[in-house]
Every structure is written in structure tokens, then in C-alpha cells.
Chains A and B, each alone.
Chain A
């Protein structure tokens, strides 16, 4: 136990508080402070710092449902803090569209007619105000409008099976999360890549220098294997905690800037907690997925490093593992954006992808909590299975300097590892 503890401490000391660690953290810290405060920084240093006058919009509800508060709905949708310009939305007293052209105080006129479920919409914009961003914002609302109404009506009226879509996020919330997810999951991805790389390099350094023989002569290969994984997880905790501290510092800095320049504080975390009511569950799930996923990738990395004989060998052999890591990350980011919900569900059950896809699928409402827990359980069982299978192969491979092709080599190690087990 003491030797295991010492191996873990030694592994951690090799990585933490070294020059490379300090420089990397200085860069990461600054980057995170900036990322967390991007909205506030844009707000402060952006070209249109001074708030322009709101655009005056008149909405005429000429649909069959005159009771529906159309102007109120549009107002709620369009005047949120993530749309750069602000609009003042009003109902109308106009007789017809000519009144709009005569009214110098009004910029836009929207006339809704027909059935509210599928209305005909006429949009009038005065030539002097046809800036592209304004038109885009209005058109986005018009595109989303029917979807929102459809979802709202469904919430009010249960469908034929008596089920509802409670688990689903509102489209604008989902769009927001999809957009922000790449920023939030990037540090997680980077941490797993760092930890995986560090572990592999650490093992291959000991193996290629033959120091491994002196080490394995003193401690069992299994203890060495587990100590390397534990040290890397420890490194992950230290680095992860530092990232959280940078994030909190960033949030604090954002509040400070908001108070000094008299602008509204725009915090990604605050916005996320508003958009995802289940954020504590998501946070716990994300940490668990990350932790178990890291152990999975560390186990594979340890296997690859034990099979390699030189640094060059290791770099070559670990390329597929890095590709799998990158694939998992991109699947997690891009599939929700593409609306490929079924593919996300499938990917969230595949252990090599689920560390990234699992929490994202839950965050975007594609999967339920139960679904996420099953996915996590599969991941955990895979880690246990991999550790059980890889540990004896590691024991054989770590002291072998065979130079045959990768698959031939691993085949021989597997044969040797398990033939020994049966004797």
C-alpha cells in the first residue's frame, strides 16, 4: 500500500508544479477568464456600446383568434438579452397599412392573418431601417413562431396517448445550449486528452529507458498500472479544480466589470442555470461521465503505452485513441446541432463516445435522466471489464520489447496473459 501511495505521489509530482504545468495553467487561466466574460467584454468594448433607441414595432392580429396576445408573445421572444437590439412591441389601432407609412414614429409593421396555427404574415419595414441584422431577427422570430405556438398548444392539450413532451427543451433554450456546449465541454475534452497523454508518456518513458525493470522488480505490474491511472485521475482533479477556480474568478471579474461600467452582468453560468432547471443533476452527471470516461481512456492509454517500446511507437499506436476521443467530442457537439436525436441516443450508449455525448444529450433534453443513468452504468461496467482484461496483458507487455507489428504483438500478449491465468 505504501509503495502504491508512493508511486501515485511520484507520478503526481512529475506533472504538477512543473514549469510546463505552470505555463499551461497561466494560459488556460487567462483564456477562461476571457471566455467566461466574452458577453461582458463585447458589451464594454463593442462598437455600439451606447444603447440605441428601441425599434418601434406594431403588430396587427387579424387572425381568427383575436383573444391571443400576439404582441405580448413577440415582445417576450424578441426582447431577450441575447438579441443585440431592443424593440418596443405594441398592438395597433391602425385602420390599414397606409397608416404605418404615415406614422413617423413606427419602424416595422407586422400583420398576422388567417388561422393562428398557420398564419399569413406581412412584414412592412421602412427603407431607412432595413439593416440586415434587424431583418434577420424579425425573420428568425417568424420562422420560430409556428414552432413555439405548436409546442405551446401541445403543452396545453395532451396528445392522444396521454403523453407529453415534458423532457424536451424549448427550441430557443436548446439552440442556446447547443451553441454554448462546445465552450463548456472543451475544457473537459482537453483534460481527458491531457491526462491520457500524460499517462502514456509517463509509462513509455519508464519502459523505453528500461527503468521499468527496476520498478517492476520492486512492485507488481498491477500496482504500477493502477498507480499510474490513480495519479492521472489525481492530476485531473487538481487541473479540473483549477479550471473551476478560473471559472469562478472569471464570473467574479464579470460582476466587478458590470458594477464599475454600469452595465448588466452577462454570465454564462447564470444563463445556463436559467435555461437548464436540472443543472445540479447535469453537473453531477457530467462529473461522473468525465471521471469514469477518463478512467476508460486512461486504461486504454496504459495498454497502448505498455505495448509500445519507444516514444515513436507510442505516438503511432495512440493516434487511433486520440481520434476516438476527438470523434466523441465532435459527435457530442455537432449531432445535437444537426437535430440527429436518434443518433445521439445511440452514441450515448457507446462507451467510447458516451463520456462526451451522455451529458450533452441530457443537457439538450434528447435523453431522459434514466437514459443517462443507464448510459453511465454501461460506461462503468465497460471500465471494470477493460481493467479486468487489460491488467494481465499490461503485466506481460510492460516487460516485453517485442518489435513485431501492433496486432501480432497484442495477439501474442493476450495469448500469453490468459494462458498464464489458467495455469
Chain B
């Protein structure tokens, strides 16, 4: 289990993370979201033991992450952190041996993962000769080569095409099935929504959304109704609980404050001609994110 308890991280007078707490259980995928500079990378560094927090602590199975247990952890940082002048094989041998692995084991696993990612021919090529996507794959392999129990992934999908993203997702799922804990950040909220159970959304170092995704959506309350009918847009706008109406080519997207206003809108739509669609949808994570982060920024 990974427990982040009341972590505060200050750089001089600047507070990068305020009183952050969350828990990740074995077999759980946890999403850490936020805009650039929100404190995600700092949180990852605290988890990895690279930065001692100003207050609070991060515990991995009730111990601080240190050099005694770091070999059980895989860490992939946001930028491509590779030594570009050496070959793929040399780099993985370097990083793998720093994780306490033996040379034959590294080479065996490297061959497996290169085959999995369909790039076995790049084993003896220099990193700088690889495309950005393939460099991303190598960096991902370097994070998982030690078969970690805790996988910390900072923007693992950035720069990947949908096919390769799917390959990454399958690997992450496989580690989840083996009982590993996975914490990752991403700007691609559809990925977070598709396989995270728990999330924290950071804004200026503070957790502005936190908890189980289903609960977060429920707590957000705001809903979207997709309507295909001959409605009058002004009438829709003036109905109680409606705060925004967008007209698309075929449908109207009506945003309402809460579930209690659905019936009133439905009653109006019933009076209109050519009704072909009345679909109520929970707000997407992306909408919640924009709404919360935007709101947070307006308050500042």
C-alpha cells in the first residue's frame, strides 16, 4: 500500500503541494491530474523519496521510500530522460543494474519487451537514432523492466499514437492484474476515466477534486442533456436549472445544475415537434476538470 499523508512541499516561500493525502492499494490504478505546474511532478518526487517533504510523509508498505526498497519501484518521468548517445541495450543494462538486476535477467526481459512493443531491431541502435515514440517505449521499458510493485508514471502516454497508447494501456492493466500499484499523471483525461478508480486533481498544489471517479461525477451534480427536436433555444435557456445551451448541427447540448431539473426540461421538450433524442449524460471528467480548475483560477 502507498500512503501519502498530509504532504506539504515548499520551495522557499513557494508552496508546491499543500496538505495532500491519498492512499493506493495493491491492484489499484490511481490518477494524479492537474494543469502544468499544479504539483504533480513534485508529488511523484516525494513518493520516490527524491524530495523530502516539508511536512507529512509518503509511506510504501509503512516504510519511507528509500534505497532499501526502491528496487521494487518503477519510475518514468515526464520528459524523455534517456542517455541518447548510448545504445538501447547499454541504457537498459545501466538502468537495470542500478535497480539491482543481473545482466542476463535484464537482457532476457529486454528481448521480451522489445518484441512486445514490436521494436526488436532497435536493441543495438543508439537512442538518438530512434523516433520520439520509440524513445518513449524505451523509457517505459526502463520503468517496468524490474517488474515493480509500485509503478509511478508521469505522463506515460504523451506523444504516443492511439495504437501504441493501447499497447501501453495493456501493459499497465497487466501490472494491475499482478497486484501492482500504479500511479500516473496524464493530460489525456479519457485514459484516466477509462482505467482509474481513484483520482486527485491538483491545482496550484491543492487537491480540488479527490476520490472515487464515480463518486466525483456524482458529487459534481451537473449533467448534460442531448436533445434532438424542434426546440426554441431562448425558451430552453430560460428554463429553471439550465445554465448553458450549445447548438450543434443536429442536436442541442443543454447543461443543467442538477438531476432535479431534468423533469422540467423533459416536460418542455414533450411539447415540441420532431423529438428523436432526449439523452441525459453525467459530466465527463474533462468537463469536471475544466469546471473545477477554471473555478479555482477565478477564485485566485
Contacts and interface: CB of A to CB of B under 8 A. Distances in A.
A2 B100 contact: yes
A56 B99 CA distance: 80
A420 B83 CA distance: 30
B48 interface: yes
Given A205-B85, A399-B50, A219 B80 contact: no
Interface string B65-105: 00100110101010111111110000000110111100000
B142 interface: yes
A399 B49 CA distance: 12
How big is the A interface, by class?
20 to 34
Contact of B83 (A206, A220, A399): A206
A422 interface: no
B124 to A, nearest CB: 16
Interface string A176-195: 00000000000000000000
A209 B81 contact: yes
Contacts, number: 60
Contacts of B95: 214-215, 218
A214 B77 CA distance: 8
A165 interface: no
A217 interface: yes
A214 B85 contact: no
Contact of A217 (B75, B79, B94): B75
Q: Is the interface of B mostly helix, strand, loop or mixed?
A: loop
B12 interface: yes
B27 interface: no
Interface in A216-232: 216-220
B82 A209 contact: yes
Contacts of A211: 81-83
B81 A3 contact: no
B110 to A, nearest CB: 16
B100 A214 contact: no
Contacts of A210: 77, 79-81
A220 B67 contact: yes
A166 B151 CA distance: 72
B52 interface: yes
Contacts of B49: 217
A220 B82 CA distance: 19
Contacts of B45: 213, 399
A85 to B, nearest CB: 57
A215 B98 contact: yes
A269 interface: no
Contacts of A217: 48-50, 70, 73, 75
A216 B77 contact: no
A10 B67 contact: no
Contacts of B94: 10
Given A6-B97, A412-B12, A213 B67 contact: no
A216 B65 CA distance: 13
Contacts of B97: 3, 6, 10
Interface string A1-28: 0110011001000100000000000000
A205 B45 CA distance: 21
Contacts of A6: 97-98
Nearest to A220: B67
A214 B81 contact: yes
A7 B83 CA distance: 14
A214 B75 contact: yes
A100 to B, nearest CB: 76
Interface in B48-67: 48-52, 67
26 contacts: A2-B100, A3-B98, A3-B100, A7-B98, A10-B97, A205-B85, A206-B83, A209-B80, A209-B81, A209-B83, A211-B83, A213-B77, A213-B81, A214-B81, A214-B95, A214-B98, A216-B50, A217-B49, A217-B50, A217-B70, A217-B73, A218-B70, A218-B71, A218-B95, A399-B50, A399-B51
Given A3-B97, A209-B80, A214-B81, 8 more contacts: A6-B97, A14-B86, A213-B77, A217-B50, A217-B75, A218-B70, A220-B67, A412-B12
